[in-house]
């Protein structure tokens, strides 16, 4: 058993809140730093399904990647989904803590962990964070040798254990060498990717117009899916909690992608 503030101190030592984007909402979303924690659930979202899992497992703390609340709320209506989630968390004394763009941006954070699983150990930061050295959104790297896009896609799907992905490219057989990776919704970074001479941008949630504009400017996209590009968060946080060396129970809530292949 440990006080929540001790867990927060350790997590924020590595992934400080100052690394988060201005629009983001990270840290303790709901609860008290003085609460004692003996069971933790890790999930991607604080959705009803994940909260129900935390309740069933009698968790004291739910750690998520995506914030349940992004901006200020003026009222809590218990008849709304957000109101129900807040009520469920408070009623069951579950604290909610979030690491989002601060763990995306941080050194040895989600982008770096994703690259590690891809077998890449030498990369540079695409969009540097002005407040912290060696931190920022996105990573880019060069392969030792050129490879055809279609072969590289199959390699990445295998390494990341992803069944389906979407590629936006005018030529699936084109040779690629310089690659950008941005977990989550990173398609808007195609201009920066083009500026550094990248052939491929690997991300999730690629929008039609980003894909169209990028392809017309020579950039191909590999859309892994938003959840698929960030599911490693679950294991990264588990790994970080293990380093704290606390005698608590940790459970991971895994869910399927929102979309279905039909």
pLDDT > 80? residue 257: no
Mean pLDDT of 200-215: 95
Mean pLDDT of 116-124: 95
Q: Domain 107-227 adopts which CATH fold? A: 3.40.1390
| Residue 24: predicted pLDDT | 96
For 53-107, the pLDDT digits (tens) are: 999 999 999 999 999 999 889 999 999 999 999 999 999 999 999 999 999 999 9
Confidence band of 261 (pLDDT split at 50, 70, 90): low
Domain boundaries, the chain: 2-103+232-252, 107-227
Decide if 2-103+232-252 and 107-227 have a common fold: yes
Q: Which of 29-32's residues contact partners 24+ apart within 8 Å by CB, and which partners?
A: 29/67, 29/68, 29/69, 29/96, 29/97, 29/98, 30/68, 30/86, 30/89, 30/90, 30/95, 30/96, 31/4, 31/61, 31/89, 31/94, 31/95, 31/96, 31/97, 32/4, 32/95
Tell me the whole-structure pTM to 2 decimals. Answer: 0.94
For 149-204, the pLDDT digits (tens) are: 999 999 999 999 998 999 999 999 999 999 999 999 999 999 999 999 999 999 99
Specify the CATH superfamily of domain 2-103+232-252. NIF3 (NGG1p interacting factor 3)-like (3.40.1390.30)
For 133-143, the pLDDT digits (tens) are: 899 999 999 99
For 2-26, the pLDDT digits (tens) are: 999 999 999 999 999 999 999 999 9
């Amino acid at each position: 058993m440990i006080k929540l503030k001790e867990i927060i101190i350790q997590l924020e030592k590595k992934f400080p809140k100052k690394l988060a984007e201005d629009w983001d909402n990270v840290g303790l979303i709901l609860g008290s730093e003085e609460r004692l924690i003996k069971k933790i659930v890790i999930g991607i979202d604080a959705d009803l399904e994940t909260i129900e899992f935390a309740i069933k497992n009698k968790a004291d703390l739910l750690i998520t990647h995506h914030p349940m609340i992004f901006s200020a709320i003026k009222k809590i209506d218990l008849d709304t989904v957000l109101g129900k989630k807040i009520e469920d968390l408070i009623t069951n004394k579950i604290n909610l803590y979030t690491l989002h763009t601060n763990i995306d941006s941080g050194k040895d954070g989600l982008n770096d962990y994703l690259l590690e699983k891809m077998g890449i150990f030498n990369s540079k930061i695409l969009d540097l964070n002005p407040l912290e050295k060696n931190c920022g959104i996105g990573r880019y790297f060069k392969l030792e040798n050129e490879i055809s896009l279609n072969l590289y896609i199959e390699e990445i799907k295998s390494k990341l254990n992803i069944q389906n992905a979407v590629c936006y490219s005018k030529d699936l057989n084109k040779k690629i060498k310089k690659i950008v990776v941005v977990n989550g919704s990173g398609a808007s970074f195609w201009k920066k990717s083009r500026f550094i001479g990248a052939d491929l941008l690997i991300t999730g949630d690629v929008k039609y117009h980003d894909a169209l504009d990028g392809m017309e400017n020579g950039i191909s996209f590999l859309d892994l899916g938003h959840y698929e590009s960030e599911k490693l968060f679950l294991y990264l946080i588990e790994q970080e909690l293990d380093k704290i060396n606390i005698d608590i129970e940790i459970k991971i809530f895994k869910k399927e992608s929102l979309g279905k292949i039909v």
